[in-house]
Amino acid sequence: MTGRFITFEGPEGSGKSTQAKRLAQRLEQAGHTVLVTREPGGTPTGEAIRGLLQHDHAGEAICPVTELLLFEASRAQLVSRVIQPALAKGTWVVCDRFTDSTAAYQGYGRGFDLASIIELNRVAVQGCEPDLTLLLDVETQTGLGRMSHRNRQTNVASDRFEREAVEFHERIRAGYLQLARRWPGRIKIVNGMRDEQSVEADVWKVVSDALTP
């Protein structure tokens, strides 16, 4: 039997990476083989693309279309080299960001035509759509506050997206909620404002209801 494909989405600092790890542990306890991966990245080529996307190079700003296509390139590589082979073996895949991030950030955030992004996503994933997407919703200031706290703790510099204006992040949050209204069967909203354990329990309930793990 093929595995199930679950994605985490949400604004900066909403808890995606934290909850992806927690869900993977729960799925493993339920007896599944689980692969956790992330976007952009997850393959050697994708991690190189991630590096390109996070910071400007030699002072050259990345053009918006270049940015969009780099995300799709990283995704295409991840799907064909990692996600599809894992699912085919029966492994459950948990991916930290996927197609909805491009719709939210490049569509609602940067103003690209949403229909074109959905089409590019379709080309990149070649039919490999998530079975379930958990959208962690947090108030913008809470997410940004958590992120800057984490960056200070880990001594990591903020990236190009994290440095965007608050209004950009507000558009991302609103955009994600629109996407959840567009695909209510696949995208489930989870309140990310609660403590980590409570969010984990809410995530598990949604996964249990949707996929009977």
Pick the closest to residue 176 from 71, 95, 103 (CA basis).
103
Classified as helix, coil or strand, 113 is: coil
**Closest residue by beta carbon to Mg ion:** 17
Task: Name the DSSP letter for residue 186.
Answer: T
CA angle 33–36–40, rounded 5-degree value: 150
In the complex, the smallest distance separating the C-beta of residue 7 from ligand ATP, rounded to whole angstroms, is: 12
Q: CA-CA distances (angstroms) from residue 61 to 9, 72, 102, 106, 115?
A: 26, 19, 19, 16, 25
Task: Name the DSSP letter for residue 107.
Answer: I
Q: Does 148 bind Mg ion (CB under 5 A)?
A: no
Q: Which of residues 115-134 bind ligand ATP (CB under 6 A)?
A: none
Taking the C-alpha atoms of residue 147 and residue 27, their distance in angstroms, rounded to an integer, is: 27
196 binds, among Mg ion, ligand ATP, none (CB under 5 to 8 A by kind): ligand ATP
Residue among 72 and 137 whose Cβ is closer to ligand ATP: 137
- CB-based burial label for 19 (10 Å; 0-12, 13-18, 19+): buried
Q: Does 151 bind Mg ion (CB under 5 A)?
A: no
The residue written with tokens 């690209």 in the block is 112
Pick the closest to residue 71 from 102, 97, 94, 92 (CA basis).
102
Residue among 41 and 130 whose Cβ is closer to Mg ion: 41
Tell which one of 17, 80, 148, 158 touches Mg ion (CB under 5 A): 17
In the complex, the smallest distance separating the C-beta of residue 103 from Mg ion, rounded to whole angstroms, is: 18
For ligand ATP, which stretch binds (CB under 6 A), given 104-112, 168-176, 179-187, 191-199?
191-199
Alpha helices in the chain (DSSP H): 16-29, 44-54, 64-78, 84-88, 99-102, 114-125, 140-154, 166-182, 196-211
For ligand ATP, which stretch binds (CB under 6 A), given 111-119, 122-130, 142-150, 174-182?
142-150
Q: Does 158 bind Mg ion (CB under 5 A)?
A: no
Residue among 10 and 46 whose Cβ is closer to ligand ATP: 10
Residue among 84 and 136 whose Cβ is closer to ligand ATP: 136
**Per-residue x/- mask for ligand ATP, residues 145 to 184, rule CB under 6 A?**
-xx--x----------------------------------
Q: Does 13 bind ligand ATP (CB under 6 A)?
A: yes
Instruction: Summarize as ranges the residues that interact with Mg ion (CB under 5 A).
Output: 16-17
